Chains A and B, each alone.
Chain A
Amino acid sequence: MLAEARRRHLLTAMADAGIEHIVLYGNAWQGDYLRYAADFGILEGHGIALVASDGATELFLDSATEAERAEAETPGIKIHFAADVARAVGARLDRLANDRLAAAPRRFLPNWLADEGRDFALEDATALLDRLLMHKLPAEIAALRRAAQMADDAYAVFRDAVKPGRRQYEVVADIEAYLRRRRCPDNFMIIGSGGKDVFGMTPPSERRIAPGDLVTTELTPAVAGYFAQICRTLVVGRATDAQRRAFDVFREALAAGIAAVRPGATAADVARAENDVFRKHGLGEYTTSKWTRVRGHGLGLFCDSKPHLLEDVDTPLAPGMALIVHPNTYHPEVGYVVLGDAVVVMDEGAEVLCKTPRELFEVAT
């Protein structure tokens, strides 16, 4: 079982590091550290897992509703509902103060718990957990493959859902409903529509889809907690020559980025390969932070995992890492364009998980 495989992996890493108990924090924004050990997809409030070296795991939640849900969804884990979750965990750690304790991600812990005035000392185990989160087990990669298939299928639904006159949030409602019908409980999705006035993607607005719009989306369904992403752009109506020319740059950049994915390369190498294409076409300015956030990122139990693909991130790539390579940015002639595929680093290079063609799709007006 996937959760059990992860927990065994964590216990081995704890033993290697001499850690006797580890505290893992999570909330609905960034729940991957918590989910790695507790296999609970938190939606509300704070959650803290306490994992002992023998594998015994306790989960502390400050939402009574979430505590009841965790009891139903995570058999084998002892659930504690505590309105003040930091002090509840602190009381537990007071009894373990002579053991070697660690926490991840330490910077997210409630301030009271991380305070150096406590009777217990928490080492920072963020780097240890980051390694586990980035370097995936075969069962984790299998879940990502299923999630990527879900992303491809959902994008096909998205193409059908985009119609002139529909509001952005109505389009997103169709996608979420499709995913729930497929028993997929979670998704991260942002959208953009329009022309040169659009500089990025956001949650859906009331804006209506109009003929001639470029419609962009980043669609990221989760299977068993693992998020796989696809980024595509479509045109409402026939694409103009300028839109086609612009899209060709993104297609070339994505291909260059994926070609750079191989063991031993760094995150920076992939970002540089993408950005070099833009520089070659005189669009280097649009690879800067003014116009784009990252050129891709890790995928896994969080939809924006490490490593971020940027030219100053020297994290080496290794087999078992999962990434989205996406040279998304603003193009001065047509507006914001996105194109990205989820990939897994294999011994021989990248395995591309997304099967949707890298086309500038056209939908009927």
Chain B
Amino acid sequence: MRRGLISRSKAELPDAVLDARLAHVHAAMGEAGLDALLLYTNNTRAAGVSWLTGFVPYWSEALLVVPRDREPVLVAALSYRVKSWIERTSRVAEVVHGPRIGFEAARMIAAWKADAALGVVDLDGLAAGIVDDLRRSGPRLTLRDATPLFAPLRAAADPAEIALAMTAAAIAQRALAQASGRGASLGEIIAAVEAQARSDAAEEVYVAAAPDLGRDRRLKRIEGEAALGESFALRATVAYKGTWIRLTRTFSRDGAARPQEEAAARLAAAVAKLPSADGFAGFSSWLVEGCRIAQPLAPLMGSRVAAAHLLAPHALVSVQADFEVEGRPLLLAAPALLGARGEATSLLVQPF
């Protein structure tokens, strides 16, 4: 559950940006012959609805109903008491409250047009109970999977989203900079990282650690004691106003210099070749994540991803890599922006 700052700034997410995104969706709906589009959100799959409205649920779930000829309506399982909070933190024309959001949404759409063609983004992944309620409450509605309609619209980042990602990355950089102190325990280091990120207005931060890279390179959430090895890695997954990035750094417990510049250069060179995977040939493992539909950091391509998704020009991604420099393991991650029209893909920030 979210417990960082959730707020909407019209300077960072202006109405004109939301209008433009909605116009693209309306145009695509018109071409597809849809009367309404339905997007689901909860706190793990918020990046579709937040892209159109700014709304991020800290808890519970909601459906955004996007009629072709009206303003979007949010049907929220959150209680009526938080209506004003939803209105403060997002832009929706109307908020409807009810525990069975599928039932309420279908009733509303059917009242407009009983046999409406309803596009549902990620219909296969939508909760079965919600789909049951949609069918029960709107028996004449025609449900179609609208993922192929929505995913291409969501793929490319506009300047507002890039700016939010830059802020998220800056928060993560400042947070991980707190980890460079010597002599601290892993718990103290993680606390310092998280305190910095949340004080810098992160909407959420997940800190994962590989406490001893000599023994295990996998990053995990720390509960209980964990001794630091000669080198260790920390990953900060940071959300800022609905936009998510990952940043990973490798540290030496003794504070000795590490081949950071060489490692960063190798990562940047590999990233520059995206969407080609050729640059990652010498890496132990790598992963590119980004938003395709609603999951903020879904796997798009990588050494474990069997079926890679096509990376769109100007897509925001986070790239994680595991490789060795001078015989030592190094974990790095940073957000990047896919190039367009022949531009190289570039890191938004340096991991160090």
Contacts and interface: CB of A to CB of B under 8 A. Distances in A.
Contacts of A28: 1, 43-44
Contact of B3 (A185, A204, A293): A204
Interface string B213-228: 0001011111111000
B162 interface: no
Nearest to B302: A64
B206 interface: yes
Contacts of B92: none
B298 A62 contact: yes
B58 interface: yes
A177 B192 contact: yes
B185 to A, nearest CB: 9
Nearest to B224: A183
Contacts of A110: 124-128
B81 A203 contact: no
Interface stretch (A132-140, A168-176, A315-323, A340-348): A168-176
A169 B89 CA distance: 15
Nearest to B198: A173
Interface string A16-53: 00000000000111000000000001011110000000
B297 interface: yes
A306 to B, nearest CB: 14
Contacts of A45: 44, 295, 298
A289 interface: yes
B123 interface: yes
B5 A29 contact: no
B80 interface: yes
Contacts of A63: 295, 297-299
Nearest to A67: B304
A71 interface: yes
A29 B59 contact: yes
A29 B43 contact: yes
A265 interface: no
Interface residues of B, number: 68
Given A72-B218, A181-B191, A203-B5, A86 B287 contact: no
Interface stretch (A101-109, A254-262, A349-357): A101-109
B2 interface: yes
Contacts of A94: none
A200 interface: yes
Interface string A149-173: 0000000000000000000011011
A65 B44 contact: no
B85 interface: yes
Contacts of A44: 44, 295-297
Contacts of B142: none
B35 interface: no
Most chain B CB neighbours (cut-off 10 Å) among A86, A170, A181, A206: A181
B152 interface: no
A178 interface: yes
Contacts of A43: 44, 206, 221
A203 B85 CA distance: 9
Contacts of B216: 72
Most chain A CB neighbours (cut-off 10 Å) among B60, B201, B305: B201
B104 interface: no
A65 B81 contact: no
A69 B295 CA distance: 18
A26 B124 CA distance: 16
A24 B126 CA distance: 16
Interface string B167-193: 000000000000000000001101110
Interface in A64-79: 64-65, 67-69, 71-73
Given A173-B199, A180-B191, A293-B79, 7 more contacts: A110-B128, A112-B125, A172-B4, A172-B198, A183-B224, A204-B5, A206-B7
24 contacts: A27-B42, A29-B42, A29-B44, A29-B61, A62-B298, A63-B299, A65-B219, A71-B218, A83-B305, A109-B128, A110-B124, A112-B124, A115-B128, A169-B199, A172-B3, A172-B198, A177-B192, A178-B191, A180-B207, A199-B81, A200-B85, A202-B82, A203-B4, A205-B5
Interface of B: 1-7, 42-45, 58-61, 79-82, 84-85, 123-132, 187-188, 190-192, 194-195, 198-199, 201, 206-208, 216, 218-225, 237, 246, 287, 289, 295-299, 302, 304-307, 320
Q: Which 7 A-B pairs have the closest CB atoms?
A: A107-B129, A173-B198, A114-B128, A177-B195, A72-B218, A112-B124, A180-B191
